[in-house]
A = this chain, B = another copy of it.
Amino acid sequence: MRSENQSIGQSVSDADRSFIELARRAQIIDAAVETLAEEGYAKASLARIAQRAGISKGVISYHFAGKEELLERLVEQVYERMGAFMEPRMVAQPDPGERLRAYVESLAAYMREHRVQLAALGQVFHNMRNSEGKLRYGVATSEGLYAFLESIFREGQESGAFRRFDVRVMAVSVQAGIDAMFEYWDVHPEHDLEGHARELAELFAQAVRA
């Protein structure tokens, strides 16, 4: 059993897993994503996840070492996919201003197609805690995003295109604006997500302009 092997310290990469096992794990993660997005973290018990997946509760324990591992794999998966979507869109933009705009609008495009994944991600980020009671995914998780945004801002500042401002505050605010855009659209599905993204990009274009 995969999850038992792990308990003796040998981590198992996806490459070592059989097709059928990968499929089951994916199915379970999908069910977890839906449950988290639609019922919230507190209600996302293994029983409910299993029910949604149409399987027995024990199957989850068979494929994952525990709930903790399931959620961590879920986060990894969502992150990877989002990164794979974003990266080519970023490198194509040489100008810092364009890169910032592309960042905002690409994320909106991703949201449009992956609403439940991102909603689930938010639940895990805001709620999952380690055994000491600290948030498992805290601000430290966003550090990568902040660093990326800050690199854009510094480049713009050095070229003189951007005014002088605190890059950390700007990064935190940009990311907050994007997250809020998602949450607002998540609650108001009729909301014009792409329009919001364009306005948001323009907002920050003005905010950073020299």
Contact = CB atoms under 8 A, between A and B. Distances in A.
Interface of A: 1, 4, 8, 38-43, 47, 51, 57, 126-127, 129, 133, 135, 138-140, 163, 165-166, 169-170, 172-173, 175-177, 179-181, 183-184, 187-188, 195-196, 199-200, 202-204, 206-209
A57 B1 contact: yes
Contacts of A173: 173, 176-177, 180-181, 200, 203
Q: Is the interface of A mostly helix, strand, loop or mixed?
A: helix
Contacts of A202: 165
Nearest to A38: B133
A65 B47 CA distance: 14
Q: How many copies does the complex hold?
A: 4
B51 A183 contact: no
Given A47-B1, A51-B4, A173-B180, A203 B165 contact: yes
